[in-house]
Amino acid sequence: MNTMFFIMTVASLILMTVVSPDSAFSIMINGASGAISLALKLCAIYAIWLSVLDIMQKIGLNRALDRLFSPVTKRLFKGEDEKTRQYITLNFSANLLGMGSAATPLGIKAMEGMQDGSDKATDNMILFMVINATSIQLLPATIIGLRSQYGSASASDIILPSLIATLVSTVCGVLLAKVFALPSKGKKKESASLPQPLKGATFK
C-alpha cells in the first residue's frame, strides 16, 4: 500500500508541476475535503444501520440468519466462531441487496473477529475481502437508475450480463484465494503438534 500510494501521488504531482503547478495543492485539498464530506455521510448511514443491527442482535435475528447460512459460511471460513460468522452472513446479505454502505460496518466487525493478532492478513480475511471486492450485488440499482435518467430505452437489460460478470469474478476470486491459501495451510498442519496460542485471546 505504501509503495502504491507513493507512486500514485509522486507521479501525479510531477505531472502537475509540469502541466499546471498552481492547481496541485488545491487538488490535494479537494481530495481531503471530499473525504470529510464522505465521512459525514457514512457516519449518518452507519448510525442507522448499527442501531438496527443492535436491535437485530438483541432479538436473536442474527443467530437465526447464521443458522440458515452456516452450511455455506462454515465451509468457506473454516475455524471462525459464531459471532464472526454472523457478521460475515450479514455483510453478504447487505451486499447481495446492494446496500454497500450498510455492509461496510459489518465487514469491519467481521474482520476484527478474524484477526489473529499479527500484522499479516489471515487466509480467511483475504477470502472475505476478495468476495467483497469482486461484488456480489444481485441488482445494480444505481446504474439502472442512471441509465434510464440518460434516456435508455431498456435500462434493465444490463441485469443479466452484470449478474454473470459478477458471478465470474467472484468465483474466480474465491478459487484463487483458496489456491493461494494452500501453502500456508500446509505450514499450519506441520506446526499443529506444537502448542498454539489461544486464538480467542486476541479478540476485541
**Single-letter code of the amino acid located at 165:** A
Helix (H, G, I), strand (E, B) or coil at 105: helix
- The residues in 174-193 that bind other proteins, with binding defined as CB under 8 A, are 176-177, 180
Q: In this chain, which stretch among 64-72, 79-87, 105-113, 189-197 interacts with other proteins, using CB under 8 A?
A: 105-113
- The residues in 13-32 that bind other proteins, with binding defined as CB under 8 A, are 13, 15-16, 19, 23-24, 27-28, 30-32
Residue 193 CA neighbour count, 13 Å, CB half: 1
Cβ partners under 8 Å of residue 80, min gap 6: 73, 88, 113, 114, 124
Closest approach of Cβ 64 to other proteins, in Å?
A: 11
Give burial (CB, 10 Å; 0-12/13-18/19+) of 145. Answer: exposed
CB nearer other proteins, residue 86 or residue 134: 134
- The residues in 43-62 that bind other proteins, with binding defined as CB under 8 A, are 43-44, 46-56, 58-59, 61
Indicate whether 104 belongs to the interface with other proteins (CB under 8 A). yes
Q: In this chain, which stretch among 63-71, 79-87, 155-163, 190-198 interacts with other proteins, using CB under 8 A?
A: 155-163
> What is the per-residue burial (b if ≥16 Cβ within 10 Å, else e) of 7-44?
eeeeeeeeebeeeeeeeeeeeeeeeeeeeeeeeeeeee
Out of 3, 36, 190, 192, which residue is the one contacting other proteins (CB under 8 A)? 36
Taking CB atoms within 8 Å and a gap of at least 24, the contacts of 2-9 are none
Closest approach of Cβ 188 to other proteins, in Å?
A: 15
- The residues in 113-152 that bind other proteins, with binding defined as CB under 8 A, are 115, 117-121, 125-126, 128-130, 132-135, 137, 139-144, 146-148, 150-152
Indicate whether 8 belongs to the interface with other proteins (CB under 8 A). yes
Indicate whether 90 belongs to the interface with other proteins (CB under 8 A). no
CB nearer other proteins, residue 70 or residue 162: 162
Calculate Rg over the CA atoms of the chain. 21
